[in-house]
Amino acid sequence: MGFCRSMFYIIILVSFMFTCSLFSTMAFASAASSLKVGFYRGSCPSAETIVRKAVNKAVLHNPGIAARLIRLYFHDCFVRGCDASVLLKSTPGNPAEMDHPDNNPSLRGFEVIDEAKAQIEALCPGTVSCADILAFAARDSTYKAGGIYYAILAGRRDGRVSVSDEVGQNLPSPFINAEQIAQSFARKGMSVDEMVTLSGAHSIGVSHCSSFSNRLYSFNASHAQDPSLDPNYAAILKTKCPPPTAGTGTDPTVALETVTLNRLDNKYYTELRRRRGLLTSDQTLMDSSLTSTMVLNNERNGAAWAKKFAKAMVRMGSLDVLTGTQGEIRRICSMVN
C-alpha cells in the first residue's frame, strides 16, 4: 500500500513538472533566441578575455573561489532570472537579495565580478552587462575547476530590482527532499535530470554547519542522528561541527565533498552512494526513487555527466533573462544607474 501511494505521488509530481516545464520551455526558447554566442564580438571584443583573466587570477589565489562564483550564478538565475539582481546592494527600506540569510554571509565572489566590470567599463563603457559578466565568470570557473568548457550565450541586460524576500521563495532549501527540489526546478522549466546534474556542483565548495547539523544532533523524535548518514562520516563531521547548544557563537564550514577537493567532477555521486552526502538535499537524491538511477548513471559515466553539466549551465543561463531594451547596462554592478 505504501509503495502504491509513493508511486501515485511520483506520477502526480511528474505530471506537474511536465506542465511547468512545457510553459517554461516556451518562455525559455523565446528568451534564448535573443541571446547569442559572441554577442560582444563587435562592441567589446575583449570582454570575455577580461573576465577569464580575472577569474583565473582569483582561483590561483584561492581555489575555492570557483565554487563561489558558480553558486553566485545559480543564486542569481533562480531569483528573477539571470539579471544580476543578486549583485545589487540593499537600499534604505529595501533589503536586497544579497542580504537574505541564504546569501549573507555565505555568498562570495562579488569582488571578482566588480574587478572585471571595472576593467571592461574602462574599455567599453555602458556596453557589457553585469549579468553577462557573471555568466562568463561561472563558465570560466567551471572550466578552471573541472576542465568543462561550454560556449555561453550572451546579450542579457541587468535588472533594476532586487528583493530579499524573493530568495526564500525561489531557492531550494538544503533541508528539503528530492521531490521538492524537482518541483523547484520544474517551476523554472528545468528537468529532474538537469536538477540532479547541476547538483554535481556540490563536488566543490563548502557549507556552514548550520545547514546540516540537524542531521548530526536533532534529526527527528526517533533518531538524534540521521540514519541515512554514514556513521563514520557523521563522527568526522561532529569533530568539525559542535552541537548548536554548545554556545560557541560560531558557524564553521565543511567541504561539501572531500574526495577530490576543489575539483569539479562526478565523485559527488560516489559519495552519495556511500551515504556521505553532506546536506539533506544532497543525500535525498540517492534515497529517492525519482532520482537514484540518475545518481548512479552520473557516477558511472563522468564524461557524460560533464557534457550534461555544460548543457544544463547554458540552459540555466537563459532563465527569465532581460534582453533588447529591457532593464539596463549597469555602470557599477552593485547599484542601478
Contact indicator for 16, 186 with CB cutoff of 8 Å: yes
Q: What is the CA radius of gyration of the chain?
A: 20
The C-alpha cell that represents 320 in the structure block: 527569465
How far is it, in rounded angstroms, from Cα 315 to Cα 29? 10
DSSP strands (E only) in 162-275 = 206-208, 253-255
Amino acid at the residue 262: N
Task: Give the position of cell 526517533.
Answer: 222
Concatenate the DSSP letters of all residues of 94-158 into one string. Answer: B--GGGSTTTTTT---HHHHHHHHHHHHHHSTTTS-HHHHHHHHHHHHHHHHH----PPPB--BB
Helix, coil or strand: residue 289: coil
Spatial CB neighbours of 276, under 8 Å, sequence gap ≥ 6: 229, 230, 233
Residue 245 neighbours by CB distance under 10 Å:
8
Residues annotated as catalytic are 75
How far is it, in rounded angstroms, from Cα 34 to Cα 16? 28
